[in-house]
Amino acid sequence: MSDETSPSEDSRPGQTVQQQHVAARVPEKISRGVFSNGVIVIAGGCEFVLDFLQNLGHPPQVASRVVLPHVTMPQVVQALQQNLDLYQQKFGAIAEIPRPTSTGRQQTPQEIYDELKLPEDLSMGVYANGVMIGHTATEFRFDFLVNLFPRPVVSARIFLAAPQVPRLLDSLGRNWRQFQERARPSEFPGTGQVSTNDVENMPKQVTDPPPPSDDTTAGP
């Protein structure tokens, strides 16, 4: 769902963040969030894995790993598209980031991860079945949620620079369409099934996360 009003910025440790009909608790260890300048999207048999990267030094490393069930992906894509539309209505179009010159053969998923540092404590990732997205003029904030009774909890907070967001949206949408094409409609009504180890963005082609926002969109 989309809301043009600003969410509560009172997301101090142990406090809550709120958007329209969604209020979620923000644990202290999550509240500061992590910055990312790249995303790898992997489609698995039961889930999508989003590896948010910090590609500022060597080796590049995974800053956060978020695991989404298949049914959550279209909600994330829709929420991100709505929030991006709100951003561009207010601040104008986002300039496209130049893409690196192709060096020939595309790396395999294994080759990509051989070059990445994946901290042991991040290897299992965190589960999320919802997202709240907000933005300022320069960044987007993604609050991934575990939306379970009795109250939603933020399981990961990611900040991306605004120019990275259109590329992230393109990657998520492309992965979702590929999932639908390969899925059996009987297994996932209205969707499809998933491809295994389908890595989309290369570490050096990735996308950025966001901070507090002026406009916010939530995906249930």
| pLDDT tens figures, 39-68 | 999 998 899 999 999 988 888 999 999 999
Express each pLDDT in 11-39 by its tens digit.
Answer: 444 566 655 566 899 999 999 999 999 99
**Is residue 109 in some structural domain?**
no
Q: How confident is the model at residue 219 (pLDDT cuts 50, 70, 90)?
A: low
**Is residue 101 in some structural domain?**
no
> What is the C-alpha separation between 92 and 63, in angstroms, rounded?
29
**Is residue 122 in some structural domain?**
yes
Cα angle 120, 126, 131; round to 5: 145
The number of distinct structural domains making up the chain is 1
Highest mean pLDDT: which of 1-15, 48-62, 197-211? 48-62
Look at residue 199 in the predicted model and tell me its pLDDT. 35
Domain residues for the domain of 83 are 2-11+19-94+117-219
Look at residue 202 in the predicted model and tell me its pLDDT. 32
In percent, the amount of the chain with pLDDT more than 90 equals 56
> What is the C-alpha separation between 108 and 209, in angstroms, rounded?
25
